Amino acid sequence: MRRWVVVVLVVVVVVAALAGWGGWMVWKRPLEVFAMMGRQGLKRAGLEKTVVEAPCGPQVVWVGGKGPVVVLLHGAGDSAATWAQVAPKLAADHRLIAPDLAGHGQSAPQTGPIDVKMVVEGVEATLARLAAGEPVTLVGNSLGAWVAMLVAHRHPERVARVVCVNGGAITGHNEAARVLPKTREEARQAVAQTRDPASAPVPDFVLDAIVREAQHGALARFAASAATMKVWVLDGKLAAIRVPVHLIWGASDQVMPLDYARRLQAELPSATLVTIDRCGHVPQVECPARFAAALVAALEGDRR
């Protein structure tokens, strides 16, 4: 869901490995360093950066691999870099399309509020430009899962299947979640809600970076459009999604708890649900090997 959620899982290793200027960058700008490392990981997996024009401006998209198209949609406040640890396991057998969603990462708009309409239209433009004429698999984490369901609902002919990862298009997530922390202690609580309790403690300098990001970053800009979001939920309408839907859930998530996944499944009786124990809201980073195995199983299961 958030860029600062995933950075805490690697920052200790990074600090130990880097020194001098690199160490200073990690200390002062850990979120930016994590995103940079993620982009390098996408490059190593064979993905290349391209740009797609959309109504809200240029969208940066990472593309690579061969085979059926899998579109990877990140969560609010995150970027395509979140898929860096999963991309190598998928690119050998799939053509991957991983956009920075509108207003996130390197995609426009870089200032002002971000609303659901911008994000959906950015994904639609990406599909029209990079996957024309071929039904795709949409894999979405958190906000990305919401958008994946919206695109499947709006364009069923364009979608072969949907994989929702700790997110979806109905209301009812944890209203007590600390989405935009204002202090270090609130940031500590926010991180705890997104990760397994057994995860290592988060360094204070990362918590401080989370607070800074929460005031001006993409997540804050997206939250600014909250009043417009109601028309984009699909409560009572999920049955109109006719393509196969798979739910993959980090069971330790308190932001979008397992009960939310079960509510999705109740509206989609044929949907499958796979849980990943000791894993939270962003399983593609917190437990990438187990998440990748669950995702590959979902993709292969529909072909049998």
Domains of the chain by range and CATH? 3-301 (3.40.50.1820)
CA dist., res. 206 & res. 111, Å (int)? 24
Q: Which two tokens stand for residue 63?
A: 């593309």
Strand partners, 72: 139
pLDDT band at 27 (very low <50, low <70, confident <90, very high): low
48 vs 187: CA distance, rounded Å? 34
DSSP helix/strand/coil, 135: coil
pLDDT for the residue numbered 290: 97
Whole-Å CA distances, 24 to 16, 33, 210, 255: 12, 10, 17, 32
| Dist CA 294 CA 85 (whole Å) | 14
What pLDDT is attached to residue 6? 47
Q: How many residues does the chain have?
A: 304
Task: Calculate the average pLDDT of the chain.
Answer: 90
Q: What is the 8-class DSSP label of residue 72?
A: E
3-state SS assignment for residue 36: helix
Structure tokens at 189: 């609580």
pLDDT at 8: 47
Asked if residue 127 has pLDDT above 60, the reply is yes
Average pLDDT over residues 46-69: 98
| Stronger pLDDT, 177 or 228, i.e. the higher one | 228
Q: What pLDDT, on the 0 to 100 scale, is given for residue 74?
A: 98
Measured between alpha carbons, how far is 290 from 276 in angstroms, rounded to an integer?
A: 7
Instruction: Give the span between the Cα atoms of 227 and 224, in whole angstroms.
Output: 8
Whether 54 shows a pLDDT value over 90: the answer reads yes
φ/ψ region of 105 (left if φ > 0, alpha if ψ in -120 to 50, else beta) reads left
pLDDT in tens, 215-268: 999 999 999 999 999 999 999 999 999 999 999 999 999 999 999 999 999 999
Give mean pLDDT, residues 147-163.
Answer: 97
Amino acid 173: pLDDT: 65
Whether 163 has a pLDDT exceeding 90, the answer reads yes
- Per DSSP, helices labelled H in 18-130 are 20-28, 30-44, 87-90, 116-130
- The reported pLDDT for the residue numbered 21 is 37
d(CA 8, CA 153): 34
pLDDT over threshold 70, residue 135: yes
- Between CA 33 and CA 249 the distance in angstroms is 27
Portion of the chain with pLDDT greater than 90, in percent = 82
Cα distance between residue 94 and residue 112, in whole Å: 35
> What span, in angstroms and rounded, lies between the C-alpha atoms of 274 and 294?
7
